[in-house]
Structure 1
Amino acid sequence: MRLFNAGVGSALLLGLMVPASAYAQAQSRVLEEVLVTARKQSETLQDVPFSIAAMTEGKLQRSGATDLESMATNVAGISIQNLGPGQSQVSIRGISAGQIVRDQPGVKEQVGVYVDESVISMSLFTPDLDFYDINRVEVLRGPQGTLFGSGSLSGTVRYISNQPEIGAFGGSVQGSGESVSDGGEGGSIKGHLNVPLSDIAAFRGVAYSQQYAGYIDALQPNGRTKEDVNDGTRTGGRLALLLQPTASLSITPRVIFQSIDMDGFNREDDYNVLANPYTTTRPPVTLGDYEQYLQREESFEDDFLLVDLTVDLQLNDVLSLLSVSSYTDREVRVVRDASALNASILGGSFGEPEAVYTLDAPLFDDTDAEVITQELRLTGVNGPLQWVAGVFYSEIERHYGQSLFVAGFTDSGQNVAPTTAGDRARKDELYYSDIPYQLDQYAVFGELSYDLSERTMVVVGARFFDYEETRELTFDGIYNTTILDRKGETSSDGVSPRLMLRHDINDQVMINAQISQGFRLGGINDPLNEPLCSDADKATFGGNDTFDDETLTNYEVGTKMTLMGGAATLNASVFYSDIEDLQATVNAGTCSSRIVYNVPEAHSTGVEVEFFSRPTSNLEVGLSASFVEAELDSDVTSTDDNDVSSIVGGIREGNDLPTAPGFEVAATATYFFPVFETWEGYATATLQYVGSRYTQIADQENNGNGVAELYPNVGGPLTQDTYDYDREQDDYQTVNLRLGARNDQWDTAIFIRNATDEKAELSLDTERGGNARVGHHVNQPRTIGVTARYRF
């Protein structure tokens, strides 16, 4: 609340002050020329010979985008699956095998995310870094394995930050405040400062603090309701120092840090085994919009630190050397209320009395990761020939563990376990896991561009990689088969090639074509929770100790057009991606475990279109759209003792790849107008449409109809035996509005996000296949706010 009040006060104060100088209204209709470095060299976006989008700092500010999820609403082909703060999953071109959850630490990302030259993506936990003082965000569609390596299977996202400037003192400060419909209040204070230190040095710093407004209410066992439980804070910053002792040498050490501290999750519960209307012996509960049921508080903490060093040396007129060294430290602490899951086991499966199955069951989930990377890259230009070659090394140490601690369980009179203490599990610790990982990767890469003529260019590239993953498994507790310090390892090597062709029909129209490949490293599956498994599920899901690399081969043609004398651009791409050994996550039935299977064949095919225009000097419009058909082309089956085969986890030929919609479109329009002859006003409206989709492959079985088996021993006798729910997330539309005014120093605006108050189901969230709980992550309701930025 204090930060909200400070943010509103700062915004109003900045907005009401008299400007020091006038802002000259732009008269030119020519669109801004955007420079990108998607191929490790500087070139205009319209010159890049493959599909790429770039959101500049100005566009980010006018749209109100402050992080990856809000930015994606304006870019075709990229989808963000919201699984709670700091846990967003990125999908490009519909290529996804389903939701990755916290207890799958061995699963790698399909989209690489970078800050400048340093990789920050890590499976589920891609950090939601703030965009303040970001120069642009580049979205590279299609596999980028040649230059960006593993994790860039379907594409790459790059945050390009503003660098320190020698000889230019300046900065900015911004305040904002907002209020959520039927929710809480939030706000932010942000700023940056650039300070020349000498003729050869400069410092640039960014700092931000944001208060997230909550909008989910939690019903509790005592009948009370705790409001807005998913509020929290995000604080962080960037500190960079530029040393330029000579014109040919620059050295940039940098520190990026961020801390997210949330009190809960944006989950709306539809059914909970401990709170439902079907009971006759417990208080019946009907859960409403933006409500969940909790026995104990939940939390999410994410501390992120990146330290990197970039050295850029121009060796001569045609040759340059770049070294990028980085160290990342990440600590993620999650406390989740697993009381419903525990009740479904203790009460539903084991038949324990209410006094036992209603005990609080917090699940503690810890991830610690340290990543060291080193890249050395040599770039050369010699007439029609341009090339880049480099070596890359990374070492990842990741420690993951879970603990389900149910205080009082041993002494509760339960019948299932006379004692819970084990070799590693403590008394009342029903589940314990400890899994340290190490992954080492080496790569050599190169890409060569050659101008066959003034209008035709060919690009050839490849990446040679070798990796090895090792880990130790320790599991204990009554829900596990005890495993102590079991070692496991997997390794792989291969080549990821790319071939591109660009031809300029004339100065306004370019066509391009490519064949490229990306890869996603394999890994090691966790063992099944065998004490919870039926015999049939043990036979079906057992024996899958490892999973192989996933590879994608992309075939693509596209065009980029500059129209209306530079007042419009039209870019389009058509692609077909052939996927081998797709890594699909399967919920292992009664085992409450997750196993990754390799699906032999899958594909994604589609089209992307982006049109931007300034038809008049005071009107700018944009349209981004993508249509994707992504499907499985293979079955995965299991055969029982009677030689009867069945589909495993919904991996059936013809089923859609999950999480990403088939159709997305975003339309935006900004109208500029003079204000008091000294300011330029602007009004921006953005409409986003997102098509229907599924969270997991298996959700499509039974035509998307989910059936939860109700447990007679939990609140029974019950008024019905099953609970039916829809596993498909419906399509939705959102509208964002912004009205502001700016000059050379000031930018003030009022905004409305989700102006139509659309409630969107972003992903399905279930416990024990829905038998314990059925819920959805949902978006933020209508939010009204004010913001003001001052530059000096």
Structure 2
Amino acid sequence: MSKLTFAGTPWVLPFRRSALCLALWACFASVANAQEPAAGATAAPAAAEGDADVDAALDELLGSDFDSPAQDAAPAASATSDEPAAPQQAAQPAPANAVAQDPAKDSFEELDTIPVLAREPQVPQPLAEQPHRAQIEEIVVTATKREQSVREIPVTINVLSGDKLAAQGARELQDFVDQVPGLQMQDVAVTSARKVVIRGIAPDNTTNQTVGTVLGDVPLGDPIGNATVIDPDTFDLKTVEVLKGPQGTLFGASSLAGIIRYVPNGPTLGAWEGKAFVEWTSIKDGGSTPTFGGAINMPVGETLAFRLAGISDHRPGVIDIDNPRRQEKDADDARKWAGRAMLRWEPSDELSINAWYMAQERRADEAFFVTNFEADYTRYDSPESSPTRRYFDLTTLDVRYRFDWATLVSLTALQNKENEFDSDTSYALVAPAGELGIAVGRSKRIADATGFMQELRLVSEGDGPWTWQAGAFFSSFEADIYSDIYVPRTRLPGLNLLPEVLRNAIFTERGLSLGNSHLSPLDAEETALFGEVTRALGPVDVTVGGRLYQTQVSGTSRTAGLLPFISNRRSETIEDLDVEGKGFSPKFSLAWQATDDVRVYGTVSRGFQYGGVNAIAIPSPTSTAPKTYESSELWTYEAGIRTNWLDGSLHADLTAFYQQWSNAQVSQIAPPAEAYVDNVGEVEVAGLEMAIQYLTPIEGLSLDLNGSYLESKTAVVFEDSEGNDIPEGTTMPNAPRIQAAAGINYSRVFGASWATNTGLQYSYADKAWGNIEHTGKLDARNLLNFNFSVTRSDLAFAPSLSLIVNNLTDQRKIVSATRTEDPNFIENTPVGYTRPRTLILRIGAEFK
């Protein structure tokens, strides 16, 4: 065998025939190409002119008993397969990472169909009778900032295709988070930031995020704090990739425990494409709303193309408000719009320019939570609404120049984020007052941020024994964050009689401020040099990489309000804060291709977070809270085996990992309400993950199974802000011990044109805790989703109709909470449940 690699994709081609067979093959190919020319074939014209001469030559050479290629062509075309493949692949299967090809396009694949000349002519068997197994399609990703088969990358990556997400009606992260074992999310009250968790490494309420969000190669997460967690809409995406474990070498401080990477469909040169859909969503015991979306690809000549995509999403609500002051049905319905404009220009073979602009906004009047433990989707303690607005936009310029030996990449990005909420917190202050219709408290937060990044890197070309990339990175982040806890409608005209210093200290334009803080400006910078190099030593690939980085965070904090005034006797407290961090994050991996069907790997990597500054809205009179907190680091040791079975129709993978999280960032609250971030303790995580993908012998039927087992626990004793000891061996929050996801999918064509697809997805998550103190219990849950679609691709615009049912059994389980014990008389606690059964009817169309 000789192995040829083209554009990062391995193709195995047999070279075992004599020159005479090769000449015969050329004649046969010319006959076949005369009937159906292949792109790029050079023998087709000769075949069109000299069929009679070719037939005569074959009769003289092989005898009249030999069947002509034209007779064999029909059986070959009728062979059953998910992808066109040459017939000899059944007798000699290629390695699982090879992509099945069209025989008309790969001339070498037809060599095995020609018999070797012997003393007596041999009559080949009809090709349709030869055994054939469909192979699992190879998935090529750019998660490592270069094109590579996902099964060759020595880390765990779960890939969800955009088509699969569309078929399941998954628009946001909460719609598909359960499909990825080891990935968790907690999203409750608007006053608490979303927590995204990978492998039990969870952020706390006000700490830096531990999981990064990346669009293409651009990190979108806040380097400090968690004011805005970007959740891009999945419409017109190519893939969503979940990379588990530290990705600090290539993505820096935003990827301590891993990243969720969104890859949009880019412009296509030389081809018009388009698609559109309208869907109607109805939720049990809730509302019904429409959603519209469309995308078009517009080529301009052969070197320029534009792609536009947009969506208007109205998500139905289910939370009812039943309060003496306010009656409202489905109060948590949300409206979202998102749009992308993309340009691709390739003026020469060497130069490629890609420019993107995208923006998204989401608005809602209520958050999806209640304050009861009976799965009653009704709020009784909300006299006023709690509106939220989340907006972001991103502009990127990606310029690439290809040399013979490497590609130079320049990536420039500018992003803006706006996050605003004004929440009724009566339930958290004096619950009985809220239930009587008296608004006793509100919490307002405004966070505006801008970010700039520039990356330059060189990426090696070719598939020789050495592959490498090296680059420099710079990012700058600036935020303006204002928080206020206040009593509404308490700014009366008579207050002007108070001394100005007192009036300005404890009142804002909204009313009496219990405490407010203002971080402005808040700056963060990261400068880094990074690189990776891989050396192929026979069947073993050795990869060494690292990132040398320096971070700096500075901010000016202003604190005012009634409680700070009582504590400090000052109208305003101003502090200039600064924290620096620097270090080196290495990566090392070994990957051994033991056989064509078995690959074994091991990886050691390190991730890191930014440090930060504390802006304390309500400090205690005897505050000992630190003014800043330090960076934390995560070491991960991972080993795995990836195997292919049954001629590449079955993939079975197993991964084991161990993680050490040092200097973890934890949110603390000291009496009366002093909230801050501190570094405490150490966490150890150990686990197993498995994945099975199987294309069954039944044409069109496929199975997927993923699972994880996780132990995420504290490794030392530490004391929380209230003086309670958190013992060694305490399970970390949002870390269910067992998670599993399974899917069965069946595709079939009826008649000549009716293409159907039916899917059933199941997910399970074990019980877990919502906080480190173990006062909030999260339920074990079993969720079942169903989808069915039918398409007429033979008609104009290929119309399709889909029916999707999520949470088919209407399970109502607690998925997020910080306290599930009975609340005291003064306050209630927010609890998040699974969304009730949701039905989606979708009509789509597309053209290519």
| From 333, 352, 360, the counterpart of 1:258 | 360
Deviations 1:746-785 (A, max 9, x none): 3321111111111121211579996422120222111112
Counterpart of 1:613 in structure 2 is: 694
Aligned partners of 1:735, 1:438: CA distance in 2, in Å?
45
| 8 Å CA contact retained: 1:474, 1:484 | yes
SS in 1 for 2:681: strand
- Residue 624 (1) aligns with residue 719 (2): no
Relative distance call for 1:136 and 1:791 in structure 2 (3 A) is same
Partner amino acid, structure 1, of 2:772: I
Runs of at least 5 residues in structure 1 that lack an aligned partner in the other structure: 1-23, 272-285, 349-353, 639-645, 705-726
- Residue 488 (1) aligns with residue 577 (2): yes
Counterpart of 1:736 in structure 2 is: 785
Alignment of 1:692-711 (within 5 A): 692-698=767-773, 700=774, 704=775
Deviations 1:219-274 (A, max 9, x none): 2234x531111002010111001111111111111101001011111111128xxx
Relative distance call for 1:424 and 1:195 in structure 2 (3 A) is farther
Q: CA deviation at 1:690?
A: 1.1
| 8 Å CA contact retained: 2:614, 2:626 | yes
| 8 Å CA contact retained: 1:558, 1:573 | yes
Aligned partners of 1:291, 1:362: CA distance in 2, in Å?
16
SS in 2 for 1:247: coil
- Residue 249 (1) aligns with residue 298 (2): no
Counterpart of 1:389 in structure 2 is: 470
- The TM-score with structure 1 as length reference comes to 0.83
Counterpart of 2:94 in structure 1 is: none
- Residue 655 (1) aligns with residue 738 (2): no
- Residue 400 (1) aligns with residue 453 (2): no
- Residue 327 (1) aligns with residue 402 (2): no
Q: CA deviation at 1:739?
A: 1.5
Q: CA deviation at 1:359?
A: 4.4
Count of residues in Structure 1 that have an aligned counterpart in Structure 2:
696
Which range moves more in the overlay, 62-71 or 230-239?
62-71
Deviations 1:49-69 (A, max 9, x none): 221111122322333322222
SS in 1 for 2:371: strand
Relative distance call for 1:407 and 1:91 in structure 2 (3 A) is closer
- Residue 551 (1) aligns with residue 633 (2): yes
Relative distance call for 1:336 and 1:266 in structure 2 (3 A) is same
Aligned partners of 1:290, 1:686: CA distance in 2, in Å?
29
- Residue 637 (1) aligns with residue 692 (2): no
SS in 2 for 1:665: strand
Counterpart of 1:297 in structure 2 is: 385
Which range moves more in the overlay, 166-175 or 653-662?
653-662
- Residue 308 (1) aligns with residue 396 (2): yes
Partner amino acid, structure 2, of 1:248: E
Q: CA deviation at 1:197?
A: 1.7
Partner amino acid, structure 1, of 2:805: I
| 8 Å CA contact retained: 2:375, 2:833 | no
Counterpart of 2:183 in structure 1 is: 78
| From 755, 759, 765, the counterpart of 1:690 | 765
Runs of at least 5 residues in structure 2 that lack an aligned partner in the other structure: 1-79, 84-132, 566-570
Aligned partners of 2:180, 2:269: CA distance in 1, in Å?
33
Task: Identify the structure with the greater strand proportion.
Answer: 1
| 8 Å CA contact retained: 1:296, 1:362 | no
Partner amino acid, structure 2, of 1:139: V
Alignment of 1:345-384 (within 5 A): 358-381=438-461, 383-384=464-465
Q: Which gives a bigger RCO, structure 1 or 2 (Cα 8 Å, sep 6+)? A: 1
Q: CA deviation at 1:96?
A: 1.2
CA RMSD in angstroms, aligned pairs only: 2.8
Alignment of 1:496-515 (within 5 A): 496-515=585-604
Relative distance call for 1:487 and 1:728 in structure 2 (3 A) is same
Alignment of 1:23-62 (within 5 A): 26=82, 29-62=134-167
Partner amino acid, structure 2, of 1:37: T
| 8 Å CA contact retained: 2:777, 2:819 | no
Partner amino acid, structure 1, of 2:647: G
Q: CA deviation at 1:485?
A: 2.9
Aligned partners of 1:82, 1:741: CA distance in 2, in Å?
35
Q: CA deviation at 1:124?
A: 5.3
Aligned partners of 2:376, 2:355: CA distance in 1, in Å?
51
| From 747, 759, 775, the counterpart of 2:830 | 775
Partner amino acid, structure 1, of 2:531: G
Q: CA deviation at 1:404?
A: 3.5
| From 200, 213, 234, the counterpart of 1:94 | 200
Q: CA deviation at 1:333?
A: 1.0
Counterpart of 1:429 in structure 2 is: 512
| 8 Å CA contact retained: 1:393, 1:442 | yes
| From 432, 438, 441, the counterpart of 2:526 | 441
Partner amino acid, structure 2, of 1:93: R
Counterpart of 2:300 in structure 1 is: 197
Q: What percent identity do the matched residue pairs reach?
A: 25
Aligned partners of 2:173, 2:616: CA distance in 1, in Å?
34
Partner amino acid, structure 2, of 1:678: S
Counterpart of 1:120 in structure 2 is: 220
SS in 2 for 1:421: helix
Relative distance call for 1:418 and 1:760 in structure 2 (3 A) is farther
Relative distance call for 1:433 and 1:599 in structure 2 (3 A) is closer
Partner amino acid, structure 2, of 1:750: L
- The TM-score with structure 2 as length reference comes to 0.78
SS in 2 for 1:229: coil
Which range moves more in the overlay, 510-519 or 126-135?
126-135
Which range moves more in the overlay, 380-389 or 514-523?
380-389
| 8 Å CA contact retained: 2:425, 2:442 | yes
- Residue 470 (1) aligns with residue 554 (2): yes
Relative distance call for 1:253 and 1:668 in structure 2 (3 A) is same
Q: CA deviation at 1:435?
A: 0.9
Counterpart of 2:802 in structure 1 is: 749
Counterpart of 1:451 in structure 2 is: 536
Counterpart of 1:516 in structure 2 is: 605
Aligned partners of 1:164, 1:433: CA distance in 2, in Å?
45
Counterpart of 2:237 in structure 1 is: 134
Deviations 1:439-491 (A, max 9, x none): 011011011100111x1010000101101111111111103245433111111
| 8 Å CA contact retained: 2:410, 2:457 | yes
Relative distance call for 1:397 and 1:217 in structure 2 (3 A) is same
Alignment of 1:126-205 (within 5 A): 126-205=229-308
Alignment of 1:258-297 (within 5 A): 258-270=360-372, 288-297=376-385
Q: CA deviation at 1:71?
A: 2.6
Which range moves more in the overlay, 674-683 or 733-742?
674-683
Relative distance call for 1:650 and 1:116 in structure 2 (3 A) is farther
Aligned partners of 1:199, 1:674: CA distance in 2, in Å?
35
- Residue 668 (1) aligns with residue 668 (2): no
Aligned partners of 2:196, 2:390: CA distance in 1, in Å?
18
Relative distance call for 1:731 and 1:412 in structure 2 (3 A) is farther
Counterpart of 1:568 in structure 2 is: 650
| From 329, 340, 348, the counterpart of 2:427 | 340
Aligned partners of 2:755, 2:664: CA distance in 1, in Å?
51
Relative distance call for 1:256 and 1:386 in structure 2 (3 A) is same
SS in 2 for 1:505: strand
- Residue 317 (1) aligns with residue 387 (2): no
Aligned partners of 1:322, 1:680: CA distance in 2, in Å?
42
Q: CA deviation at 1:341?
A: 3.8
| 8 Å CA contact retained: 1:766, 1:772 | no
Partner amino acid, structure 1, of 2:244: R
| 8 Å CA contact retained: 1:473, 1:483 | no
SS in 2 for 1:479: helix
Deviations 1:658-687 (A, max 9, x none): 123221111110122333431221211111
